[in-house]
Structure 1
Amino acid sequence: MDRIDAMRAFTTVATEGSFTRAAERLEMSPQLVSKYVSQLEQHLGTRLLNRTTRKVHLTEAGTRYWQGAQQILDEIEAVESQLGDMQESAQGRLRVSAPVSFASHHLAPMLVEFQRQHPAVSIDLQLNDRKVDIVEEGFDIALRIGHLRSSSLIAKRIAPVRLVTVASPEYLAEHGEPARLEDLQGHRYLRYSYVENDAILPMHRWLREKGISLGNEVACNNGDVLVHAAIEGGGIAIQPTFITGPAIAEGKLKVLLEEHEPEPMGLYAVYAHRQLMASKVRSFIDFMDGYFGDPPYWDRF
């Protein structure tokens, strides 16, 4: 016996005062309605309705059960209605995980504009460069940068991420500007060291693959620090243009060895399910798609 169906059958009979009218309202046969009510009475071990040939009446136990059952059914209907509204219109709390540097530079205007268009959505943005488990940690969406491996998660590419080799004009004036890969030999290197994160792939690996032996280095797990160090003349860095773009445009950094750029990566929105996706998630992904432009605005220097 389905308890909810039996409750619904019983309360409808009690409200309508007739098995026939209850059956019409529920769009099922009178026999099935009667079966549900009989099964419910057997389950409860008490009679809920006194039946006559013309009408049914609630027993004392039936009156008490009807009040509680109606309240339960009303609450179920309210919850289902709320979920339906959430599917039809974007609302509720959206939990997003994003890389620290990208979010610091580029997410604030986007989030503000998204909320203007979807005021019923609240946003909980958590910044972390590690790869979060979006299911275990309760995130709706994770923004990730890299070459994504296959997984059970769904990933939508939002924008390309270009990597460039840069140094300040002052550093190059003092140490020389490399024109070939071999000229990097002995230069100071500002290395991204968050090796747990395969979003920004460890760039020293790329240099080793090219057979380049570097001099003293500064290693840091934050790209912004490395870019600022490069601007101050600390060495050569390989960082995304979404961080370096403004400094390149202002002449504080110079792009080197463009013909040897590492393979571009991508900014991806990663989420758990494609089917029955909450409207807040679908709306956020649709909003991000194309928001940064093609090419992204940070590459227009």
Structure 2
Amino acid sequence: MSATLFLAQLLNGLQYGVLLFLLAAGLTLVFGIMSFVNLAHGSLYMIGAYIGALAYGASGSFLVALGAAMAAALAIGLLLEKTIVARLYRRDHLDHVLATFGLVMFFNELVRVVWGPQPLFVQVPEVLEGTVDLFGFTYPAYRFAIIGVGLVVAVGSWLLIHKTRVGMLIRAGAQNPQLVGALGVNIGLLNAMLFGVGAMLAGVAGAMAGPVLSVQSGMGEPVLITTLVVIVIGGIGSVSGAFYAALIVGVVDTLGRVFLPLLLRQIAERSVADAAGPALASMSVYLLMAAVLALRPQGLFPAHRG
């Protein structure tokens, strides 16, 4: 095991963790703060990826593609909140799950009808096609850019929640929406804004993932499951907890997929090791979640209430 391989995979894990955080940050706002279970969050990620891919192909500018993905996800998120989600806030979580699961199936079929079943492949932006040299170690510039975007979103989310009047209202509304509403705050508008911001962050994640992954129908469901694991590990309702947990999950999953097969080759045949290693790596994330739930049910980095 070389130091270069370990460092490369560690950075890959951080990059994956940052993508998870872009999804987890928006879902934390909706699920942890608004107490709304939105299974369609992965579909907004998928829509962001498709719109970003089409806008990039039409304009040749990745910034335009990123802006288009954000705008489309925001618009669809606000439309869903106005027409469907707002009617479910006071309903049971089971109603949330059933309604948003229906939206998942709707958006998956809509994508197949509009763009077909074949995946789309997005080129890395020309300005980020090269590599970055750090003390003799090279790493793809685009993956560094993903890490940078995630850090900017993390800082922006923390400032929004903890250093602005809107963030104060968000935290107060999560604790006692009736009291905040009685003070003259438009809770409906606040909830719509939160849902829209969460949708927009999902769109950003989808657009950023396009050049790394294939863009296809159903791409939102697997990553949504991992995102829910991130939220549980970090602490429901904690944006900073989602950030730390996303990095932990990203690193654990990536290093496990690379190094577990290498370790298993010492005691088993290569074919067996190569098949079992990634499966065990996937299991390790859920085992980590189970350990956290057993030892610290509120999560590793819970939100401080009050």
TM over 0.5: no
Larger Rg belongs to = 1
**With CA pairs under 8 Å and 6+ residues apart, which has the higher RCO, 1 or 2?**
2
Question: Of Structure 1 and Structure 2, which has the larger fraction of its residues in helix?
Answer: 2
TM-score normalised by L of structure 2:
0.22
TM-score normalised by L of structure 1:
0.23
Question: Of Structure 1 and Structure 2, which has the larger fraction of its residues in strand?
Answer: 1
